[in-house]
Amino acid sequence: MTITSGLMSSNKQDWSTPQEFMDKLPVTFDLDVCAYDSTTKAPKWFTEADDAFTKQWEGRCWMNPPYGQALPKWLEKAYKESLCSYCDAIWCLIPARTDTKWFHNIACKGKIILLKGRVSFEQNGKPVGSPAFPSMLVIYDKKVNPAIVTWDWKND
């Protein structure tokens, strides 16, 4: 398999969010709900073995979920957890697939930030290239009203 084929499909799920991107976000996170020990973006994290779907998500949470068929299930869990008193906010980095049911039914319940420019994901700390699709952030936060905005994260 070539690197590009993994970026264009859901057969590879362990891409890491680049630290350059994380450093530009205006928040730090308490919990990474979809991490490997080597890719976490928070002091606490859940791995696949922890099964985040059975856990309580607390504080400010980061989520870069698998981009396959389970993506709507991850967004539903994130939205439900965001409504609880123990959760401050959940920031989700996901594909910008505005033509899907989950975009209109689940993602639009949060603040959507469409990212200008592609996010180049990493594997083992090294860039592996940009995916064949744009990305967006969905922020579920009781203090933030649903909205759609854009962010030129590379030039900000």
Its domain, for residue 80, covers: 3-151
Q: How confident is the model at residue 127, as a pLDDT? A: 79
Query: Euclidean distance between the first and final Cα of the chain, in Å?
Result: 35
Residue 92 and residue 57 in contact, taking contact as beta carbons nearer than 8 Å: no
Please give the average per-residue pLDDT across 24-43, as a whole number.
Answer: 96
- Other C-beta atoms closer than 10 Å to the C-beta of 26 total 4
Distance between CA 154 and CA 125 in Å, rounded?
19
At 92-126, the pLDDT tens digits run: 999 999 999 999 999 999 999 999 988 988 887 78
Query: How far, in Å, CA of 110 to CA of 120, rounded?
Result: 24
Report d(CA 136, CA 151) in Å as an integer: 9
Burial 121-141 (b: 16+ CB within 10 A, else e): bbbeeeebeebeebbbbbbbb
119 or 127: which leads in pLDDT: 119
Per-residue model confidence as pLDDT tens digits over 133-151:
899 999 999 999 999 999 9
Q: Is 98 a domain residue? A: yes
The rounded mean pLDDT for the chain is 89
- 84 located within any domain: yes
- Greater confidence (30 vs 3) lies with 30
Structure token digits, residue 47: 């791995």
Per-residue confidence band for 28, with pLDDT thresholds at 50, 70 and 90: very high
Q: Is residue 7 part of a domain?
A: yes
- Please write the tens of the pLDDT for every residue from 39-97: 999 999 999 999 999 999 999 999 999 988 999 999 999 999 999 999 999 999 999 99
In sequence order, what DSSP letters do the residues of 8-35 get, joined into one string? Answer: TSSS----B--HHHHHHSS---SEESS-
Residue 90 in any domain: the answer is yes
Residue 107 within any structural domain of the chain: yes
State residue 12's pLDDT score: 54
Residue 156 lies in a domain: no
Whether 147 maps to a domain, the answer reads: yes
pLDDT of 9 higher than 60: no
Q: How many domains does the chain have?
A: 1
Q: What is the CATH number of the domain that holds 28?
A: 3.40.50
